[in-house]
Amino acid sequence: MERGLTPTGRRAGSPGAGPRVAAISRRADSSWPTARPSRSPISWDGRPLVVNFFASWCAPCRAELPAFAAVHADVGGRVSFVGLALQDTRDASAELVELTGVDYPWGLDPNAELFVAFGGFAMPTTVYISADGEVVGQDNGAIDEGALRDRLDDLFGVAA
């Protein structure tokens, strides 16, 4: 793949190449609940970022979240994770996060604005953002732990 191109062949930063992580940062609200109350849910620090859209009402989301928690436990120092609860309540989302062992920051996307901005169309949706802030991949639908580990290796060169 030519340097500077996204997996879709569009030049990074060009229209249609995908929203940058700044779109998430601009929408961050420090009052969002997080598993780590001392951190903003969007504390992207120049590491690759995995954004997972989930919901308590989504059975495949409930099934995949323990895998995300396990992978985050292994690579959280090298890859940032954030969860965004789509069109869900704070209480229902918090209960699911606790039940599934997620300990990375999470927040709410009550009107699906970020979900739409990232081109989501199925639940759950996972978006992969490079260290320089470009969307480099997306999974629409549930993925298992092995697939998530493979994606981190393929997209970010992070062995998980």
| Structural domain spans, the chain | 45-154
pLDDT band at 133 (very low <50, low <70, confident <90, very high): confident
Fold designation for 45-154 = Glutaredoxin (3.40.30)
Q: In this structure, what DSSP letter does residue 133 have?
A: S
Question: Based on the number of CB atoms within 10 Å of its own CB, is 109 exposed (0-12), middle (13-18) or buried (19 or more)?
Answer: buried
Exposure of 26 in the CB half-sphere (CA atoms within 13 A): 8
- Tens-digit pLDDT profile for residues 36-83: 433 444 556 789 999 999 999 999 999 999 999 999 999 999 999 999
Q: What's the pLDDT at 45?
A: 73
Nearest alpha-carbon partner for 80 in 119, 35, 45, 54: 45
